[in-house]
Amino acid sequence: MRKLVVYNTLGFPNPSDFTAFIDGVRKAGADVLEVGLPPRYAKYDGPVIRRSHEIVAKFGDLSGNLGEVARRAEIPVVILTYLEDHIDHLDQFLDSLKKLNVEGVLFPDLLIDFTQQIDLVVSKVRAHGLKNVLFTSPSVPDSFIKRTGEITDMFLYYGVRPTTGVPIPVDVGALIRRVRNMVRSELVVGFGLSGDKDIVSALRAGADGIAVGTAVISELEKEGVTEGLKLVSYYRGVIDGV
Amino acid sequence: MKRGSIRFKMGWNYRGIGASFAPMELDPREIVPQFWYNIIPDLPRPLPPPRDPPSAEFSRIDLLRDIMPEEVLRQQFTVERFVKIPEEVRERYINIGRPTPLLRAKKLEEKLGTPAKIYFKYEGATPTGSHKINAAIPQAYYAHNEGVPAVTTETGAGQWGTAVALSASMFGLRSSVFMVKVSYQQKPMRKTIMNLYGADVYPSPTELTEAGKRALARDPNHPGSLGVAMSEAVEYALKQRLKYLVGSVLDVVLLYQSVVGLETAQQLELIGEEPDVLIGCVGGGSNFGGFAFPFLGHGSKAKLIAVGPSEVPKFSSGKYEYDFPDEAGLLPMIKMLTLGRDYVPPPIYAGGLRYHGVAPSLSLLMQEGKVNWREYGEDEIFVAAKLFSEAQGIVPAPESAHAVKAVIDEAKSAQRNSERKTIVFNLSGHGLLDLSNYESMMKRFGG
Ligand SMILES: Cc1ncc(COP(=O)(O)O)c(C=O)c1O
C-alpha cells in the first residue's frame, strides 16, 4: 500500500487542536506523522509553513508536548527539524527524541549544508536508536541520490520543489523517474505537492508514497481540525484511487 | 556522433541562367545538438538550491512565477541531464548561423611561437555578435508560446539586450531593455541596433522604478551596474505584468548555453582533437558554463580556466555564500561566489563582466577546485586583444579578450615547457560595437 505522510508543525494551530489533530490522524488515513519543530531559519519552507512557525511561537516552548505525540498518534512519528539548530548538541537532542518514542528524524539541510558530515550524522541517529529519513531534492547529483537511497532507514523523502507550498511549475513525473531509477528504497515525494494532479503523476512515476504539509496547515488554519482531518482522508482516497 | 557519419551535401541553387554550385558543406543538423546538457546531476556535491531569506515579507521564489515564462521556470527546477531542444528553437539556432565555427588560431600560435594548438569557438559569428542569443531564443520562444505580448530585461555591455531584442522580434514580442548607464553612454550604437530590432532602451538607473530611484538618490551620477539594472527590469516586469528574460547566472541559462560546448565537442571530434585546456571569460558564468560543462559531463580531463577582470575581483575576493542576484533583492537568494549585491563595480570596458556574482553551479565547481581561475587588469586585456586582432583579424569583445589573455599565458607556458597541448577557448563575442572602448584603451595604454 502506498504511504501517506502527513506534516504538522508542533502545536499548530494551537496546543489543544494539535492534540485533537494527532488523535485523529491515523483514522483519517495517515501512515506516518511528521512533526515540524520551528527552526531559527526555515530555509526550505514557504510562506504558509513559515507562518505556522510564527503562530506556535506565541505558545512558548512546546517541546514538553512532544512526549504525548508518539503515544497518541499510534503511527510512527518522524521529527522534521533543521540540523543547523542541533549540530552543537546533537547527541543530547537525539537522546531526548528517543526517550519520547519518536521513530525517525529528518534533517532537510543535511545533504546540502553538512555534506562532509552525512555519514557521521546518520550513524549518530542510529546509535541513539532512531531511524534516518534522508531528504533529497532535484539539485542533488546522481551520485548522492544513489548514496542516500542506500543509507536512509525508513524511506527516502524527495522534495520536488525548491520550497514547501509554492506551486513552482515542475515536471513531477520527470523528476521522480530520474530518482526512481537510482534508488531501491521506498520513495516518498513531497514539498509543494498538493494538487491531485501532482499526486497522481508522482505515484504513476513510481513514488511509493506522498507527503502533504502546506495544504493541511492551510486547512487547519482556515477551517479547523475537523476539516483538516477530512483533507487527510481525501488524500488517502486520492492515493488509493491511483 | 561517429566520424563516419559526417554527411557531405551539395547545395544546388538554380538562379535563372544556370546552377550555382555551393561548396561542399556540413549539414548543420549534424552539429547543432538536439538536447541541452545540464551539469547539476553530474556535480561533485549537491547544489544548494535558491532560498527565501530568513524573515521574508514575501516569497521571492513565488515571485518567479510572476516574472519568468512558465516553461523557463519549469526547466530551471526540473533537473534532468538532457533537455530536448524544441524543433522550432533548433531551427532558429540554425537560421542564425549555428553551428558557429570552430577555428584554429594558427597565426596567433605562430606569433607566440608556441608548440600548443589553439582553437576557438567563435560565438561572435551570430547576428547579434555574441553567445547571448542562444539563451534569448528559447526564452522568447516559450514566452511567445504562453501568449505573453512583451518581455523586458537588463543589459550591461548591450550584448544580452541585443539578443533579447532580436529574439523578441523573431516571435513578434515587444521588448524593453534597461541598459547600464555607462555602457549606454559609451556605446550609442548598441542602443541603435536594439532600437532597430524594435526594443525600447532605457539608461539605468532610471526614474521608472523604485530600484532606479533609490540608486539615483544614493548617487545622482550613479554609473549603473548589472545588479541595479536587473532589479529595475524585474520590478518593471512585475508592475507592467511582462515577462523578464534572464541573461546569465541562473542554471537554466547555462543549460541553454550548453549548445556552445556540445557543438564544440562535436567539432573537435570531427577533426580528431582532444582539448587539454578549456578557457572562457565569466560575467555571470553563462558562456563559460555553456562552453565547458558539456566536456566536464563527458568526463574530459581538460584543465578548465575561468577568467575575470581584476577590477571586479570576485574569484580572488568573493565569498561563497547566499546572496541576491539582483541589487534590490527581489529575486531568491542563491549560493555563489559574490562580492555582495550592493557592490558597484568600477566602470571598466568589459561591461558584461561588471557583475558581483558567479552562477551557482560554476561557483560550486570552483570551490571544489574543478575549475581554475585567473584575473587580469584592463591594461593586460588591451594588449591581448590587440595581439589577437592583429594575428587573427577578429576584434574580440572586451569580455572575450579576458579569455584571450589567459590563452596567451597558457600558450606561453606551453612554449616554456615544450608541451604540445591543445588549448580551446570560447570567443564569446566580437568587439565591433566596442570600438569606442578600444579607442579609449588605446589612448590610455598606448597603441
Ligand atoms: C561577449 C560577452 N562575453 C561574456 C559575457 C559575460 O557573461 P556570461 O558570463 O554570462 O557569459 C558577456 C556579457 O554581457 C558578453 O557580452
CA atoms of B92 and B163, how far apart (whole Å): 13
Query: Taking 50 as the threshold, does the pLDDT of residue A107 lie above it?
Result: yes
Residue B276 Cα to ligand 1 middle (Å): 23
CA atoms of A203 and A196, how far apart (whole Å): 11
Give pLDDT tens digits for B340-389.
998 988 877 888 898 999 999 999 999 999 999 999 999 999 999 999 99
Higher pLDDT, A167 or A227: A227
Q: What is the mean pLDDT of residues B399-418?
A: 97
Query: Taking 70 as the threshold, does the pLDDT of residue B257 lie above it?
Result: yes
Query: Taking 50 as the threshold, does the pLDDT of residue B24 lie above it?
Result: no
Q: Which ligand 1 atom sits nearest the alpha carbon of residue B400?
A: 3
Output the residue whose Cα is nearest ligand 1's atom 5.
Answer: B352
CA atoms of B61 and B52, how far apart (whole Å): 7
Give pLDDT tens digits for A53-89.
999 999 998 888 888 999 999 999 999 999 999 999 9
Q: What is the pLDDT of residue A194?
A: 64
Q: What is the pLDDT of residue B134?
A: 98
The amino acid at A59: F
Give pLDDT tens digits for B79-135.
999 999 999 999 999 999 999 999 999 999 999 999 999 999 999 999 999 999 999
Q: What is the pLDDT of residue B165?
A: 98
Q: What is the mean pLDDT of residues B231-237?
A: 96
CB contact under 8 A, A138 and B78: yes
Note the ipTM here.
0.93
CA atoms of B178 and B155, how far apart (whole Å): 6
Set A17, A31, A34, A223: catalytic member? A34
**Contact yes or no for A220/A21 (Cβ under 8 A):** yes
Q: What is the mean pLDDT of residues B43-64?
A: 93
Q: How confident is the model at residue B447 (pLDDT cuts 50, 70, 90)?
A: low
Q: How confident is the model at residue B25 (pLDDT cuts 50, 70, 90)?
A: low
Q: What is the pLDDT of residue A153?
A: 98
Q: How confident is the model at residue B259 (pLDDT cuts 50, 70, 90)?
A: very high
Query: Taking 70 as the threshold, does the pLDDT of residue B20 lie above it?
Result: no
Q: What is the pLDDT of residue B14?
A: 32
Our answer on whether the CB atom of B428 is closer than 6 Å to any ligand 1 atom is yes
The domain that contains A94 carries what CATH number? 3.20.20.70
What is the maximum alpha-carbon separation in chain B? 75
Our answer on whether the CB atom of B248 is closer than 6 Å to any ligand 1 atom is yes
At what angle are helices B188-196 and B159-170 packed, to 10 degrees? 10
Chain A residues touching chain B at CB-CB below 8 Å: 40-41, 43-44, 46-47, 50, 111-113, 115, 137-144, 161-163, 166-171, 174-175, 178
Query: Taking 70 as the threshold, does the pLDDT of residue B2 lie above it?
Result: no
Q: What is the pLDDT of residue B26?
A: 73
Q: What is the mean pLDDT of residues B208-234?
A: 94
Give pLDDT tens digits for B132-156.
999 999 999 999 999 999 999 999 8
Mean pLDDT of chain B: 92
**Contact yes or no for B327/B338 (Cβ under 8 A):** no
Q: How confident is the model at residue B23 (pLDDT cuts 50, 70, 90)?
A: very low
How far is residue A217 from each of residues A28, A81, A117, A229, measured CA to CA in Å? 15, 17, 32, 11
CA atoms of B197 and A160, how far apart (whole Å): 39
Based on the structure, what is the number of domains in chain A?
Answer: 1
Indicate the pTM of the whole model: 0.94
The percent helix, strand, coil of chain A (3-state, each to 5) is: 50, 15, 35
Q: How confident is the model at residue A158 (pLDDT cuts 50, 70, 90)?
A: very high
Is residue B84 less than 8 Å (CB to CB) from chain A? no
Task: Please name each of the domains of chain B with its CATH number.
Answer: 102-130+258-445 (3.40.50.1100), 132-244 (3.40.50.1100)
Q: What is the pLDDT of residue A23?
A: 97
Give pLDDT tens digits for B168-186.
999 999 999 999 999 899 8
The boundaries of the domain holding residue A97 are 3-240
